[in-house]
Amino acid sequence: MFDFRLKVFYTVARRLNFTKAAEELLISQPAVTKHIKELESGFNLALFDRKGNKVVLSPAGEVLLKHTEDIMDIYRQIEFDLNQFNQTLKGVLHIGSSTSITQYILPPLLARFHSMHQDVKVELLSGNSEQIEQALLNKNIELGVVEGKSKRREIHYTPFLKDEIVLVCSSKNHLIKKEEIRPEELKNIPLLLREPGSGTLEVIANALKEKGIRLADLKIEMQLGSTEAIKSYLQHSDCMAFLSLHAVLKELEGNELKIIEIKKMPIPRHFYFITPQGPEGGLPALLIQFLIRNHKL
């Protein structure tokens, strides 16, 4: 139903690479080139500018991309609404989630979702919260799940799951001799933190700010781009780290890591669904409802 040439154009416009677009679409690169030339011939306009080995959208291509995104949104909603007459649900749902959520929360839930809706193909993008929010605004995904809650007016935030950030260290840590510390003691402890743009880092910074502590006041040994990297590092050092409780349950049960309480400084937070502002519907709404119902099962 959806003009395949527009789908080819949309894929090239997102990738800015004919070879990668061909791989994603499962067609040959000459076929991609043919579809783009047909569109350019039909509009009598160049949709891409070739600059050496690079491809960029022309001004006409920028306009067509905006309309193509709108058309694809409408098509997805049409497909969803009409399939309900046959009591079938099918289509492709592009979602994105923060790294920790991708690793520790979503996989079993998505497996259960797939068993119930086998004609719905879910494609999952992983990144930090800032990257996932930007992917939503760029219309690379229709639904995101992020840590923390930013203040971007273009995005609607729906609470999903409660979480808690805890301070952890290796059970073999030689520096810590007590199970609870005062907030100001954090300034003298070597710490591992997530990278800038991480939702976890944003929540930690806000909690510390309430105690009059800035990130710049901390003794940061290193910033790492994933929770798994931080957990591995902790096993070989006397550092501590702030991590999601969901991310360390296995290590706590196996006595590999332990929690160090911070006096009068709990760090609760929510995971949030993010969608564009406006009415929710179609496959994104279906998945949101499923995840809310099933995350405690």
Question: Which pLDDT does position 1 carry in this prediction?
Answer: 52
CA distance 123 to 92: 7
Question: Which pLDDT does position 177 carry in this prediction?
Answer: 79
Question: Which pLDDT does position 44 carry in this prediction?
Answer: 95
Question: Which pLDDT does position 86 carry in this prediction?
Answer: 57
Domains and CATH numbers, the chain: 4-69 (1.10.10.10), 86-161+270-295 (3.40.190.10), 162-269 (3.40.190.290)
Q: What single string gives the DSSP state of each residue in 162-176?
A: EEEEEEEEETT-SS-
CA distance 207 to 18: 46
Question: Which pLDDT does position 125 carry in this prediction?
Answer: 94
Which residues are CB-neighbours of 151 under 8 A, at least 6 positions away? none
Q: How far is CA 267 from CA 168, 186, 193, 217, 258, in A?
A: 13, 14, 15, 18, 16
**Which token pair is 230?**
């931080």
Question: Which pLDDT does position 297 carry in this prediction?
Answer: 45
Kindly give the parts of the chain with pLDDT less than 70.
1-2, 80, 83-88, 149, 279-280, 296-297
Question: Which pLDDT does position 111 carry in this prediction?
Answer: 95
CA distance 224 to 196: 9
Task: Indicate the helix (H) or strand (E) that contains 292.
Answer: helix 282-294
CA distance 70 to 14: 15
**Which token pair is 48?**
């891409």
Instruction: Specify the pTM.
Output: 0.66
3-state SS assignment for residue 210: helix
Question: Which pLDDT does position 91 carry in this prediction?
Answer: 83
Instruction: Report yes or no: 173 and 126 within 8 Å, Cβ to Cβ.
Output: no
Give the E-state strand segments of the chain in sequence order.
48-51, 54-57, 91-98, 120-127, 143-147, 155-170, 180-181, 190-194, 219-224, 240-244, 257-259, 261-262, 267-276
Which single residue is written with the structure tokens 């040994």? 221
CA distance 102 to 99: 5
Which residues are CB-neighbours of 175 under 8 A, at least 6 positions away? 189, 190, 238
CA distance 18 to 3: 18
Question: Which pLDDT does position 90 carry in this prediction?
Answer: 79
Task: Measure CA 32 to chain center.
Answer: 29
